[in-house]
Amino acid sequence: MRVGRRYVHWLLAIALFAGIALPLALLARQDLPGLQQVPDSSIVIVDPGRNAQVRRVVASSATFPLHKQARWPAGASAQFHFKLYDHTEAGWPAAIYVPRLGGAARLSLNGVPVTSSETSSGPLLASLNRKALQAEGNRIDILQDGAPGGIGLGGVYLAYGEVGSSSVVHLELRRTRLASLLQIAGWIGLIAGLAGLLLGAHRLASGSGIAIAASVLLPALIPALANFHMGAFKPASLAIVLVLLAGCCFVFSLRKLPGTLGVICIGLGLVGISAPMAIILAGFAGGIAESSLPMALYVAACLALFLAIGMPCLLLADIRQFFRSFRETQNRVKQQETIIMEQETALHLQISEKAVLQERQRFVRDIHDGIGGQLLSLLLRARSGMLEMTDVEYELQRGLADLRLVVDAMDQVGSDLEGALAVFNTRSRQQLETANISFEWNQAEELGPYSLGARQILSLYRIMQEAVSNSVRHSQADRLEVSVHPAHDIRALEITISDNGKGFDMTQNVVGKGLQNMRTRAAQLGAEIKWDTGEHGTIVRLYLPTTPTN
């Protein structure tokens, strides 16, 4: 199926080429009334006389055929010569018309100057005085000055009557318009080719189009390259070969370009290739100069269409492919983003599961080391007979408190600090009311963005619980107050637990297990803990940083 579509693709491109090239060829070969071309075989080239004067050509003169004019030395003057006889029904021509010249030229009739060209590239139009014409034959000589691009003659036409003069005007108008169109097309093709190189979708085709555009633009800017102009009367062989190769590379590189744009680009590429091919075929058929003017018109028309339409179509195809590639890249990026998000979600889930497992293991250790140790100690003391009822009650209450701390910490995983403190407020109030101690809780309305993990909440609970337990067991206080406020000067949260008990001697309790555990847990949180004790009671101050240590 794909091979069949490719054949259809090429058939459409060839049909487009034929539909353009054949009408252009017929239009270029269109006969104009009143004009007759002098056969190229009748025109010879000789060296001019001294001081660039017209040399009289005789049978013994050294002559050079017109179809080999490309081999004439560059920069050297030349004299084109042919005979004019009255062998036509129309009689004597009224004028001689030369559409293109390789340099400034002067025409003479029987050795008498008639007129000269105003520009170095023609055209030359010389009116003939019928009184100066001779019935036995007339010598027509065109003396051309040397030029950087070499001499050259783009056909000689005889104009008969008013009809011939009108045809000359029409032909000259067509030629000048086509030359201007070719220059504009050259710039269009050059710009489109450079833009195509930047896009990079079909660099070979874009580079080939730039080369063909250069064959049109550079000779117009550099006189020494005049013969390389593909619209000239005598394109250089190197220019013909380069344009032919560039056109073939253009078509070859686009052989797989799909769609309507592919058909148009390939078809117009074939039109561009037909320009140098026509010149080559005309050379094999009898010399380039045999049909120089129609050939120049055909070549210029083909290249103008290729550069003005084919190259922009290629650029349009490149732009479409660029946006198609851009969309595909966006889709691939989105797919990669989706894959990354899925992997990230899976990684977060894995990390969460691992964290939960670690927390469970920590809680097991806490229960084993805390409650398990207390129960084991209580059991050993009971077996030894060294346990009193008050100690049993205290140890059971302490173990129950530790169990509640672990449960509360598990419940507060992922919660903010305010929720954790609210739970502690409820638990402590129940414990203090049982001990007949009045309890007061003071807390600021906004504490700030604190996010604590279960391990951190458990450490904070144990610090505060140890402070409350010490007050209940040792201070003989009847009033306890907890205050929670931000300490803006040190960017921390200040938690104060104070009672009105008898206090204790810091020097004697500095190595106590309870106080040392509070210091250790505060250090794990990155917090600072201080005690202020005396006859007025005990105050415990805990400074929790904005970002607690994990």
Long-range residue pairs from 517-521, CB within 8 A, at least 24 positions apart, any chain: 517/462, 517/466, 518/462, 518/463, 518/466, 518/467, 521/459, 521/460, 521/462, 521/463
Smallest Cα–Cα separation from 159: which of 32, 246, 274?
32
DSSP track, 172-219:
HHHHHHHHHHHHHHHHHHHHHHHHHHHH-SSHHHHHHHHHHHHHHHHH
Separation of CA 433 from chain center: 75
pLDDT tens profile 363-383: 666 665 566 656 666 666 677
**E-strand spans in 392-520?**
438-443, 479-487, 492-499
pLDDT tens profile 381-409: 677 766 666 666 666 766 676 666 666 65
pLDDT score of 430 more than 90: no
pLDDT tens profile 472-481: 878 888 899 9
Q: Give the 3-state secondary structure percentages of the chain, helix then strand then coil, rounded to 5.
A: 60, 15, 25
Here the tokens at position 78 are 């030349």
Cβ count near 133 (within 10 Å): 17
Q: What is the mean pLDDT of residues 319-324?
A: 91
Separation of CA 536 from chain center: 78
Q: Which of 4-13, 492-501, 533-542 has the lowest mean pLDDT?
A: 4-13
pLDDT tens profile 133-170: 888 889 999 988 887 667 777 788 888 888 888 888 88
Separation of CA 26 from chain center: 45
Structure confidence at residue 65 (pLDDT): 87
Structure confidence at residue 287 (pLDDT): 45
> Model pTM?
0.59
Q: How confident is the model at residue 290 (pLDDT cuts 50, 70, 90)?
A: very low
For residues 188 and 168, the model is more confident at: 188
pLDDT tens profile 189-225: 999 999 999 998 899 999 999 999 988 888 766 665 6
Here the tokens at position 267 are 């078809």
pLDDT score of 465 more than 50: yes
β 44-46/138-144 pair status: unpaired
Cα–Cα distance for residue pair 45/91, rounded to 1 Å: 26
Phi, psi of 349 (to 5 degrees): -65, -40
Here the tokens at position 141 are 């000589």
Cα–Cα distance for residue pair 55/79, rounded to 1 Å: 8
Give the contacts of 104 (CB within 8 A, at least 6 positions apart): 116, 117, 119, 120, 144, 145
Structure confidence at residue 106 (pLDDT): 87
Q: How confident is the model at residue 511 (pLDDT cuts 50, 70, 90)?
A: very low
Measured CA angle at 337 (ends 332, 343), to 5 deg? 125
Structure confidence at residue 288 (pLDDT): 43
Q: How confident is the model at residue 60 (pLDDT cuts 50, 70, 90)?
A: confident
- In b/e form, how buried is each residue of 217-246, taking b as 16+ CB within 10 angstroms? bebbeeeebbbbbbbbbbbbeebbebbbeb
Smallest Cα–Cα separation from 268: which of 317, 224, 214?
317
Q: What is the mean pLDDT of residues 56-79?
A: 83
Q: How confident is the model at residue 239 (pLDDT cuts 50, 70, 90)?
A: confident
Share of the chain above pLDDT 70, in %: 77
Yes or no: say if 121 and 150 are a contact pair by the CB < 8 Å rule. no
Q: What is the mean pLDDT of residues 99-123?
A: 77
Cα–Cα distance for residue pair 27/37, rounded to 1 Å: 17
Scanning the structure block, which residue is given the tokens 């064959």?
215
Q: Within 13 Å, how many C-alpha atoms sit on residue 8's CB side?
A: 8
Share of the chain above pLDDT 90, in %: 23
Cα–Cα distance for residue pair 94/159, rounded to 1 Å: 6
Q: What is the mean pLDDT of residues 232-246?
A: 79
For residues 34 and 273, the model is more confident at: 273
- For 496, the 3-state DSSP assignment is strand
Structure confidence at residue 74 (pLDDT): 75
Q: What is the mean pLDDT of residues 59-88?
A: 82
Q: What is the mean pLDDT of residues 42-60?
A: 86
- For 440, the 3-state DSSP assignment is strand
For residues 217 and 88, the model is more confident at: 217
Structure confidence at residue 165 (pLDDT): 82
Cα–Cα distance for residue pair 76/78, rounded to 1 Å: 7
Cα–Cα distance for residue pair 66/156, rounded to 1 Å: 11
Yes or no: say if 397 and 450 are a contact pair by the CB < 8 Å rule. no
Cα–Cα distance for residue pair 226/50, rounded to 1 Å: 27
Structure confidence at residue 539 (pLDDT): 92
